[in-house]
Every structure is written in structure tokens, then in C-alpha cells.
Amino acid sequence: MAETWVGATAKEIARGVRRGDTSATQVITDHLEYINELDSKIGAFRIVRAGEAAAEAEKVDDEEDLGNLPLAGVPIAVKENTPVAGLPTWNGSAAAQAGVSEVDHELVRRLRGAGAIVLGTTRMPELGIWGTTDDADVITRNPWSLNHSPGGSSGGAAAAVASGLVPIAHANDGLGSVRIPAACCGLIGLKPGRGVLPVQLGDEGSWFGLVEHGILATTVADAALGFAVLSGRTPAPLTQPDRLRVAISLKSPVEGVRPDEGNRTAVFSASKLLVECGHDVVTADPEYPRAIGFKGLATWFAAVYRVALEQGLDVQKLQRRTRRHIKLGEWAWRRGYVQEADREAFRQLSLDFFSGNNFDLMITPALARSPLEAKHWSRRSWLANMVANIRYAPYAGPWNITGFPALTVPVGTRSDGLPAAVQLVGPPGSELQLLAVAGQLELTAPWRRHAPGYPVR
């Protein structure tokens, strides 16, 4: 028996519980103690369900047949904008908080049905707008460097997984909110394609179809297991991919923004590894029309405006940067700059890029720069936040507009000691192929599963 189950993978924990090597109660006790010791430094959790989680672990232990529970006893965290029965849905700030939910989101229900235990909800920026995570009281910090942000908007989830507070975490992604934190924290971060997972529980938070739920994990096997449960599939080993044709692109979707040396090196390293794995690698850039950049921003602004309007939020109580975002969103919405036809045209252009060149997937940088400094970004101006976010994380957003699956995978460490990563993008339906290729990268060049020095017990 392990001295502690903190730091074990989700697959290891579930196997241990099913075999009787440990109990769900012991696993949850280990993780709750660790959270109590460490999270005051990291700031990953908004709410910890200590008593409820312990009671739910006992129920898992009382199950007569654990063989049908692929996540038996696995601790998991849920992003705080996703309903968990009995908890308020915070949405990143007290001003944006919804009431206590009476029911679980469908994805939370699926996780529980697989035997997972929800330890609590993880922090995010207000309304999930930004690529950093903080509020008036707490700055969520990157376990790799407490002076840096874990990214956003699923920053709390990524910080929790990278420090070992939980082995896997639920997250969601409107313009990169799974993949950006994964890159900042050295994790696997999967955003499935549009329509693969149920988005929301009857509310309007899908951002005109940009938002998808996903998973954060330290291994490809755990990410594949989490994805299978979330998508209602029977977990199965990933199939070794055939010889693939892979596009390599450093081109930024944002004019004037270029990847730094660390992110360029990550792409080149991943490309060499894929050649070693027998794939064909070709340099080719997708088209990012200037108009889609403007209309993508307009959609982002208007999405937040519509959420605030339809949820009846008191805008004057929101952060200054959020109020500015909403004002611009109202302007964009009223002038008709948000059109499904524009998003569909870019989706078709991207489909033609893959099919016309016979590309099975594409590799891009995950970030353009290092993670941003950990500080109270919520107190800074809208413009300061916009400039910082666009300069460091421009690569993720286009693939929400197209609805294509995309995945962040670690590729070693940068010269500044922070994790390096790349983004894999594929056409619709390629989630398992992206995971399989990520598995080849993991096997060829294994990465550090947790931030240096973690878990600390």
C-alpha cells in the first residue's frame, strides 16, 4: 500500500480502489489533508467539500461491484462556473455568483456515476474572461513558480493538478481556457470539438458555441480516461496512430505577435519527435483572415455582454475591466458584428486547410511567451489585461471559433525553468487521434508530471 495516494494518477487510484489495495475513504482523506496543508499557498480552490466528499467516499466503498466504476475513488475538482449540487456557482467573483445549484451539471453527474469524488470547485477569473486567475482576495499561483500565473480561465484547476491536489480536474474553454492553463502548468489539456460534450445545464453560457468542457491531467492515459467518462464512452486503450501527415505552423493568429524562443523551440522539438515516431512533418500555415480576428474579438465581447444581460447581473458591481468588456460587447452586438455566418466561413476555410492538404493534424505553439506574472490583474485596466493576454496567448482562440478539437501537450522545460508546451489541432472527430499522438510524445520524451517539488509530502 502506498504511504499516501497524493501524487498517484487517476488510473492508479481507481485500480487500487477496485482491487482493494486502498479505500476511497483513505484516498480522499489523503487528498483533503494535503489540500488543507498546501492550498493556502496555491489558491486553487474556491470551495472544498470536505465533509460531503468523505461521506461520498464511504458510499463508493460500500458499493458491491466496483468493476464498473472507471474512476472509483478518484478525487476530482470542478471549475466553479459549472453547477455542483449543493454549492453556489461562483463564476469567478462574488458579484457574478449564482445561487446554490439544486442539481449537478450533466458532466458532474457522469463523473460521479463513474465513481469520482468531487473535492470542491476551483477558482477562475470573473466570468471566465481572462488568461489569468485572481479576484479581490486571492491570487491563484502557478506551482512551477509562485511568481507566475497558472493561466486562465481554468487557472485554479490547472494549479490543483500541477501541485497534486487532485490527479485530474474538470475545466472548460471558450478561447483557450483549458489549453492556456495546461501550457502554463505543464499539463495535458484537452478541448474536445463542438458537440462532443454537453456544454451547459440549460443556461446561456456557451458564448455563441465557443465554449467546450474539457479535462486537465498529468498523463495522456488519465486525460483519455477522463474524456471517455465525460463523453459517455467506455474507457479503452488508445490505438497507435498510423503514419500521419502533420502541419507545423508558427504563424500567429494576431498580427505583430510572435512566439518567443522557448515556444519556437518547443514546436521544433515536438516536430522532431513526431518524425522519430514515423510521421511526415510539413511546414504549412493556416489562413487567419484579418476580418475573423476583429469579429472573433467582437464575439468574445458580445458573449460576455449576453451572459451578463441574460443572468441579470448588476454590472456596476463587476470589476472595472469586466464592465468595459461588457460595454464593448453591447456595442458589437447592437451593430450586428456577431454573425454565425462569419464563424462558419472560418470553419470551412480551416476544414479546407486540413482536407485540401491531407493534413491529419497541426502543431502550433501553445503560448507566445512565458506565463504572466501572478498579481491582481483584476484591479488593472481592461486595456492592460487585453494587451497582456493577447501577447502571451494568441494561439488557442481560433479553434473555438471553428469548433475543432485541440490539445496542449508538455514538451520539456524552458530555459527560464517554466514548462514548455505545444498545441495539437485536428479536424472534427479527431480527439482520440490527438490523444494518441500526445501519447507518442509522452512515451518518446516523458515530461515531469507535477511541478518541481510537488507533491510536497
Instruction: Return all residues near 234 (Cβ < 8 A) that are at least 6 apart.
Output: 228
In this structure, the number of other CB atoms found within 10 A of the CB of residue 348 comes to 11
- Which of 247, 260, 254 lies closest to 286 in space, CA to CA? 247
**Do the beta carbons of residue 90 and residue 121 sit within 8 Å?**
yes
Compute and round to an integer the Cα radius of gyration of the chain: 20
**Do the beta carbons of residue 216 and residue 162 sit within 8 Å?**
no
User: What number of CA atoms fall less than 13 Å from residue 117's CA on the CB side?
Assistant: 33
Residues annotated as part of the active site: 79, 153, 177
Pairwise CA distance, residues 380 & 62, whole Å = 50
User: Side by side, which strands form the sheet with 406-413?
Assistant: 45-48, 117-122, 75-79, 168-173, 212-217, 188-191, 406-413, 419-425, 361-365, 245-248, 280-283
Instruction: Return all residues near 148 (Cβ < 8 A) that are at least 6 apart.
Output: 141, 142, 184, 370, 371, 372, 373, 374, 418
**Do the beta carbons of residue 410 and residue 188 sit within 8 Å?**
yes
